[in-house]
Amino acid sequence: MSTEPTGRISTDGDGSILTITREFRAPIEDVWASVTESERLARWIGTFTGDPASGRVAFLMTAEGATEPGEMEIRECDPPRVLRVTSHVGEERWLLDLVLEEHDGVTTLTFSQPGIDPSAAESIGPGWEYYLDRLAAAESGRDVAEIDWDRDYYPAMVEHYRNQAR
């Protein structure tokens, strides 16, 4: 885990895309479980209720102390390699994509958020860095409470993402 910002913002014909990767010394199935099973998600970000086979679940971001769940619409699920969801919270809609690949015992998770508003990158980028570092800590057995938002992510990463968005 590093508190150096690693995310990049690129553009394509449809707009801006935030991309962040993390590597895990773990089998792909283990990392997949950490991003798709409610009990494992609870270690680093939140929980869901409902049946994922229905294409929608209610997701509660417990790491932020949320009390009302949002809806996650499952756009694509190809275990253990691809998960694409749309987060519906109030009026906001975020596309969130996770792609996993395993090589020689190392699983790489590529997280992307297509359609990111470049003016919001300075808060969204550090937020996803924070959550992905919490995932890395949980996956390796470290205490996620040691991941310090105020010290290491915001405002520490604001300038990096401000520059990326230009």
Query: How far apart are alpha carbons 82 and 96 in whole angstroms?
Result: 11
Residue 91 CB contacts under 8 Å (≥ 6 apart), including other chains: none
CATH number for the domain whose boundaries are 8-165: 3.30.530.20
pLDDT tens digit sequence for 58-69: 999 998 888 899
Q: Is the pLDDT of residue 147 over 70?
A: yes
Mapping DSSP to helix (H, G, I), strand (E, B) and coil, where does residue 137 land?
A: helix
Angle (nearest 5°) at CA 110 between 63 and 140: 55
pLDDT tens digit sequence for 32-61: 999 999 999 999 999 999 999 999 999 999
pTM equals 0.95
